[in-house]
Structure 1
Amino acid sequence: MKIAVLLTCYNRKDKTLACLKSLSKNSSSVIVYITDDASTDGTSLAIRQYYSEEQVHIIKGTGNLFWSRGMYTAWKEALKGDFDYYLWLNDDVVLYDNFFEELLYCSNLYENNCIVTGLIEDKEHSTILYGGTSLKTHKMVQPNSEPEKVHHMNGNVVLVPCSVVKKIGIIDPYYHHDLGDVDYGLRAIENGIPVIATRVPVAYGYPNNICRVRKWGVNLRERFHRLNMPLGSPLRINYYFRKKHYGFMKAVMFCSYLTLLNLLPDWAVVKIWGTTYQNK
């Protein structure tokens, strides 16, 4: 069984090394492809101190790839090999000892014709942070006795069999940072490939409570500048995503909503939506 592990990283050396350590501790036969998107904290040098070029392939990024395009870059390089599975990892997760057995168990239930997204909990083991939203409830999937089908997938720990790649390809490089994982899951579902969550958490990670759609306490110009940055929620990306999966009218409506949300001053947003759009 040949497995390519895909990561992208930028300036969080300690977390990246902790992730790779948890991976190598539990799965020594994998080959890692990691896009270092022009880190300035010595991430690549630190990786090379512990792992050979055969174990970890480091692809140099431009500094402007962010998550989706960084993962696309790593995956494109991995396609040169002949792999049975592609495993996505966020570089800030720490994998549990059972992670690969659980991912494979769930994949085998669907004869490896599915995508498996791993449940990620917080470090205190008290809250499920990522995995995906339930197809039934549209709320975050919780631990279950059986794998549950997912609607919107999170890309923190994801197992993709090569059979799926042959059908739908890899991540769409149009996405810059956000929505590349959600889009890939929806593409699979639209092509008759289920996306399922693991029964139990396979790693711990860290919450991301940054509000992407609106920056607080700045003027109108700065709000729209932040909105359309890669780490924001760019209108053109949102339009592309929603038109692709939900149609032209829903794409226009959502982008109009984002525009209105950023046109309104802070006090008006609070009056209408309370603290919904402030960072938690």
Structure 2
Amino acid sequence: MKIAALLTCFNRKEKTILCLRSLFHILPTCNVYLVDDSSTDGTSEAVQESFPNVHIIKGTGNLFWSRGMYTAWKEAIKEKYDYYLWLNDDIELYPFFFQELIECQSLNDPNCIISGLVEDFDKNKILYGGSDSQKKLIQPNKQPQEIKFMNGNVVLVPKSVVDKIGIIDPVYHHDLGDVDYGLKAQENGIKVYTTRIPIASGYSNNFCRVRKGGVTLKERFKRLYSPLGSNPNINFYFRKKHFGTTKAIIFIIYIFVLNILPDKIVYFFWGDIYKDK
């Protein structure tokens, strides 16, 4: 079984090293493709020293997550792998993580995608994995559960899926690349499931992308169009692709109105929905 792990990182040297250490402890023969998006904290040097076999790909400094993962995957598919393993570099994998991914796949379809449930370090709360059609975060169960909207923190993608639908779409800059890939898979008859139990611990990155509060209108729109925001052009592409032109237009109008309205009105009507958590 040949496995390629795909990661992208930026200035999280300690977390990146811990993640890779947990990975190699469990899968010592795994081939890792790591995009370092111009880190300035010595990440590449530290990784090279600790794990000399890691394929380090230098980023431009403007790739962020989705385009970083695309860059890593584009390099990895030059070789023949049975599985591609997406990893966020800020997680620590549990010893049984890969066994659980493989078992969940075997319980369903060998051509399905499995997204691992990730919990916080106190093991009190599920942070990532995927959501159902109502956008409710899926919780652990005795069986794998179908995902509508996939998170890309720990994901196992078999070669057969790549052969059918390709790799992540480079249109996406930071977010939505994982959600898009999961939806594209489902639209092509490929199921996406969670693991039965959490397989890693991680950090919550739950901040609001669609609206930045407490700043000027100019600053708010600058953030909206930034990679860490919710770029309306990319959002329109995503929503038109999966939900149709009408819904895409309605959502973009909504985003603009939401960002034009002052904080007081937004917080009065929507409460803390559009505040960083």
What's the TM-score once normalised by structure 1's chain length?
A: 0.98
Gaps of at least 5 residues in structure 1 are none
Structure 1 residue runs of 4 or more that deviate by more than 3 Å after TM superposition:
none
Partner secondary structure for residue 150 of structure 1? coil
Q: Deviations over 1:150-169 (max 9, x none)?
A: 00000000000000000000
Q: 1:157 and 2:161 equivalent?
A: no
Structure 2 partner of 1:10: 10
Measure the CA separation in 2 of the matches of 1:201 and 1:272. Answer: 35
Pair 1:175 & 2:160 matched:
no
- The root-mean-square deviation of aligned C-alpha atoms, in Å, is 0.8
1:80 Cα offset (Å)? 0.9
The alpha-carbon deviation at position 29 of structure 1 amounts to: 1.4
Write the deviation string for residues 196-251 of structure 1: whole angstroms up to 9, x where unpaired: 00000000000112111111111111111100100000000100000000000000
Q: Which residue of 1 aligns with 2:33?
A: 33
User: How many residue pairs align between the two structures?
Assistant: 277
Matched residues in 1 for 2:91 and 2:132: separation? 22
Give the partner amino acid of 1:79.
I
Q: Which amino acid aligns with 2:175?
A: D
Are 1:123 and 2:121 matched, yes or no?
yes
Question: Could you tell me how far 1:109 is from its partner in structure 2?
Answer: 2.1
Q: Are 1:260 and 2:247 an aligned pair?
A: no
TM-score (norm 2): 0.99
Query: What is the CA distance between 1:184 and its match in structure 2?
Result: 0.1
Ranges in structure 2 where 5+ consecutive residues have no aligned partner: none
Q: Which residue of 1 aligns with 2:242?
A: 245
Alignment partners' CA distance in 1, 2:83 and 2:110: 9
Q: Distance in 1 between matches of 2:41 and 2:115?
A: 30
| SS of the residue 2:81 aligns to | coil
- Residue 277 of structure 1 deviates from its aligned partner by 0.8
Give the whole-Å Cα distance in 2 for the aligned partners of 1:251 and 1:112: 34
Selected match of 1:57 from 55, 58, 76: 55
Deviations 1:19-59 (A, max 9, x none): 0000011111100000000000000000011112xx31000
In the other structure, the counterpart of 1:77 is 75
